[in-house]
Amino acid sequence: MGLVIAPYCSGALIDKYPGNYTPVMLLLGGFALCGLVCNVILYFDDIKNRGGVLDKVPKITETIAALMATPQISKRELVPAVPVDYSDFNKDFGGEVEVVEGLPSEL
């Protein structure tokens, strides 16, 4: 609703007062003030009627640190997939390659 009404009102004010952005800035400031008032009302309503649910955030530092840390890439993810057919390798380099059964062809 705000994405429809605010641009329409801003455009109407710009058309009514060309070259003067003071009314538009007052309109946007009024919207910001309404949002601030609603946030304060909701905050005090939460404390009074819901026991302060917004303030009861779990303070688990290990979980927060784990969420902020960059995940470590395992060495297995860095190794490219091994082809199943080794005949091309034998032609290029000669010799035999030991094929181990049971290993996945893609990592």
pLDDT digits (tens, 9 = 90+) for 86-105: 555 555 565 555 556 665 55
Query: What's the sign of the alpha-carbon dihedral 87, 90, 95, 101?
Result: negative
Q: Are 75 and 106 in contact (CB under 8 A)?
A: no
- Residues 70-84: what's their mean pLDDT? 65
Q: Say whether pLDDT at 83 is over 60.
A: no
* pLDDT score of 66: 72
Whether residue 79 has pLDDT greater than 90: no
Residues 19-59 have pLDDT tens digits of: 999 999 999 999 999 999 999 999 999 999 988 888 887 66
Look at residue 69 in the predicted model and tell me its pLDDT: 74
Distance CA 1, CA 34 (A): 15
**pTM assigned to the model:** 0.49
- Contacts of 97 by beta carbon, 8 Å cutoff, 6+ apart: 86, 89, 90
- What phi, psi does 74 have (nearest 5°)? -75, 155
- Predicted confidence at residue 62, as pLDDT, reads 64
107, 77 Cβ separation under 8 angstroms: yes
pLDDT of residue 46: 92
